Amino acid sequence: MQLADRGAVSRFGTPLVVAVVAVLVGIGLTVGLNGYFAYLGVSVVVAAIALLGLGVVTGSAGMISLCQLTFGAIGAWVVSALNKAGAPGGFFFWLLLGGLAAGVVGVLIGLPALRLRGINLAVVTLGLAAAADVTLVEIQFPGTTDGVSVDRPSFVADDNAYFLMCIVVLIVCALIVHFLRRGPWGSSWAAVAFSERGTAAAGASVRTAKLSAFAVSATLGGISGGLLTAQVGFAFPTSFAPLQSLALYVLAIMSGAHLIDMAVFGAVLWVAVPELLKRWGVPQDWGYVIFGLLGIQALAGRGNLGTAIRELWRRRSRASAGIQITALDEEPPRLPPGEPVLVVRGLSVTFGQVKALSGVDLAVPKGGVLGVIGPNGAGKSTLVDAISGFLPQAEGTVELADRPLTGNPTQRARSGLRRTFQQDRVPAGLTIEAYVRFVARRRPDAAEVAAALEFFGCPPAATPLDRVDVGARRLVEVVGHLMAKPQVLLLDEPAAGLPHEEHVAFGERLRQVPARFGVSVLIIEHDLDLVRSVCDTLTVLDFGEVLASGPQAEVLADPAVLKAYLGETEML
């Protein structure tokens, strides 16, 4: 069996096997349960689905949502209204419609997340929950005042059968979330949680990533609300109070609800803690205190129970994966630089009264490597930000393959211009392979990915990025963008984090990029040994202006360049 086939079996077979086992466990749990414990079991499952959705938006996408039970209220409202109206389709159809309705509202609630972050987004979502609570208390759910209860389908009329049905719904939801996380949406959620700039530079839509996370989370919340309504026959505003949404968020953070098993564990705590307090004669409001203390610990420690358990599990075998770049036995011939593929004319950027760039002109030759050097504060990173679209106020023109390059960073990346960053923008929540495929925005075969990773001395594709050191992550970032096959790749200090002895070996690889991958390169780098070994031509910036530009030897011998570098004269 080929490696790709084995990967497909593991990707699809293992989750399905786990799902079948979970169903069998659910059947076993229903045997001998009395009505009350079956009722508690349904409560656990309903909470697990809500936590699973919350784990998507908070754990995977890194956004704060304090209105998860409001989405549950929307699902409950739809089920109650359709039941009262005697709508066709039956309970399961109503349940699906309730989830979809909540998903639509989730997209609308996600719109502020496009501009708001952190505490501001928390205030907006909590305000929504409070407004919904006041409205529900005033008008009540359909059928409540008329005594029209939501009846379960006949084959799940008793609590044990309904419990098993809810387990099946949870398993289906968990499978959907699992496969979404392993796909492009899941990668975009992890990327946007770690770095919105890095996500945009990869050609992925930050807007789509955020809205899809809210939509999936809200849909699951709506389904949980519909199930809760059929559990008791009626929906009540107290089941969806803002304080409970807040407590659910804290529980999601504490347990690590982005992990499916920990979402279930968190749901067990959600039901077990109040139940134990009741049996011990302690007021159940103390449950909120307990969840609050656990949440404070999780937030202060920047961790959660799920990741801590997994860390302990693999600590013995865990070793940080690093770089293993070896010298090339024989370097293939380099392509002669051709006509300019990226042309920048009159690029200027002003911050208030400060001119960061002033009339910068440069050209990246097709099949060549252009180096941009200069003292600290010369405007090099500003130049890359402006070319890649992160500074919309920039003046001047940028042309890629004789076509004007305009639009936001995502549009420019999709047009064939990619870039890396000085800071680490590689999310630790993915494997190397998942990250490379996400950045590539295509599905290169396993052999192509493995060959590119091996070429740059990166760890194997299956390695989780949280086991990879910073220097190796920088190289993985380069590989991901090269797999996208852009026309030009902008590298902002790609050797940062690499040991000095690895710089030369990295330079050997970088020198071959145009011939091997068909990508022209613009590189910003302080290591002049690397610059000498890689760059055909150089452009020197000083105080935002071009000081010198041309063939490497001429530029490095220019007295003005030597003067600009001052203390770096001896290095030159």
> Could you give phi then psi for residue 289, rounded to 5 degrees?
-65, -45
Question: In this predicted structure, what is the pLDDT of residue 36?
Answer: 79
Total-model pTM: 0.86
Residue 302 has pLDDT above 60, yes or no: no
- Are 167 and 22 within 8 A, CB to CB? yes
Higher pLDDT, 323 or 569: 323
Q: What DSSP element (H or E) covers 307?
A: helix 305-314
Q: pLDDT digits over 478-508, tens only?
A: 999 999 999 999 999 887 767 777 777 788 8
Question: In this predicted structure, what is the pLDDT of residue 369?
Answer: 92
Start-to-end Cα distance in the chain = 55
Find which of 49-53, 56-60, 268-272 is predicted with most confidence, using mean pLDDT.
49-53
Residue 555 has pLDDT above 50, yes or no: yes
Alpha-carbon 74 to chain mean position: 27
Question: In this predicted structure, what is the pLDDT of residue 311?
Answer: 65
Given phi > 0 = left and psi -120 to 50 = alpha, else beta, which region is 405? beta
Residue 348's beta-bridge partner residues? 395
Q: What average pLDDT does the structure give for the chain?
A: 85
Rounded distance between C-alpha atoms, residue 308 and residue 300, angstroms? 14
Rounded distance between C-alpha atoms, residue 415 and residue 64, angstroms? 33
DSSP 296-348: HHHHHHT--HHHHHHHHHHTTT---B-------SSPPPPPPP-SEEEEEEEEE
Q: What is the average per-residue pLDDT within 292-319?
A: 63
Residue 330 has pLDDT above 60, yes or no: no
Q: Which two tokens stand for residue 305?
A: 């129970």
Question: In this predicted structure, what is the pLDDT of residue 50?
Answer: 95
Q: Please enumerate in sequence order all residues whose Cβ is within 8 A of that of 539, keeping only pairs 6 or more positions apart, or say none.
A: 362, 370, 371, 372, 373, 546, 548, 549, 555
Alpha-carbon 94 to chain mean position: 32
Alpha-carbon 414 to chain mean position: 19
Q: What is the average per-residue pLDDT within 404-422?
A: 93
Where residue 570 falls among pLDDT bands split at 50, 70, 90?
Answer: very low
- Are 160 and 38 within 8 A, CB to CB? yes
Q: What is the average per-residue pLDDT within 113-122?
A: 82
Cβ density class 50-88: b for 16+ within 10 Å, e for less:
bbbbbbbbbbbbbbbbbbbbbbbbbbbbbbbbbbbeeee
Question: In this predicted structure, what is the pLDDT of residue 299?
Answer: 62
To the nearest 10 degrees (0 to 180), the angle between helices 286-301 and 242-255 is 40
Q: pLDDT digits over 338-380, tens only?
A: 789 999 999 999 998 889 999 999 999 998 999 999 888 889 9
- Are 345 and 361 within 8 A, CB to CB? yes
Rounded distance between C-alpha atoms, residue 208 and residue 194, angstroms? 15
Q: What is the average per-residue pLDDT within 323-336?
A: 56
Q: Which two tokens stand for residue 341?
A: 């593929």
**Number of neighbouring beta carbons within 10 Å of residue 25:** 11
**Alpha-carbon separation of residue 301 from 308, 315, 449 (angstroms):** 11, 19, 36
Q: Hey, is 146 helix, strand or coil?
A: coil
Residue 371's beta-bridge partner residues? 523, 538
Q: Which two tokens stand for residue 550?
A: 């041309």
Residue given tokens 């309970």 in the structure block: 91
Where residue 166 falls among pLDDT bands split at 50, 70, 90?
Answer: very high
Q: Which two tokens stand for residue 93?
A: 């159809």
Question: In this predicted structure, what is the pLDDT of residue 297?
Answer: 64
Q: pLDDT digits over 24-41, tens only?
A: 887 777 776 677 788 888
Looking at 380-430, list the stretches that DSSP marks H as alpha helix, in order from N- to C-terminal side.
380-387, 409-414
Q: pLDDT digits over 526-553, tens only?
A: 878 888 888 889 999 988 999 999 998 8
Rounded distance between C-alpha atoms, residue 278 and residue 464, angstroms? 43
Rounded distance between C-alpha atoms, residue 474 and residue 324, angstroms? 13
Residue given tokens 């004669």 in the structure block: 281
Query: Could you tell me what percent of the chain has a pLDDT over 90?
Result: 43
- Are 541 and 526 within 8 A, CB to CB? no
Where residue 1 falls among pLDDT bands split at 50, 70, 90?
Answer: very low
**Alpha-carbon separation of residue 314 from 58, 319, 542 (angstroms):** 25, 10, 49
Can you point out the beta strands (E) in 392-438?
A: 395-400, 403-404, 417-419
Residue 538's beta-bridge partner residues? 371, 550
SS (H, E, C) 57-92: HHHHCCCCCCCHHHHHHHHHHHHHHHHHHCCCCHHH
Q: What is the average per-residue pLDDT within 460-467?
A: 89
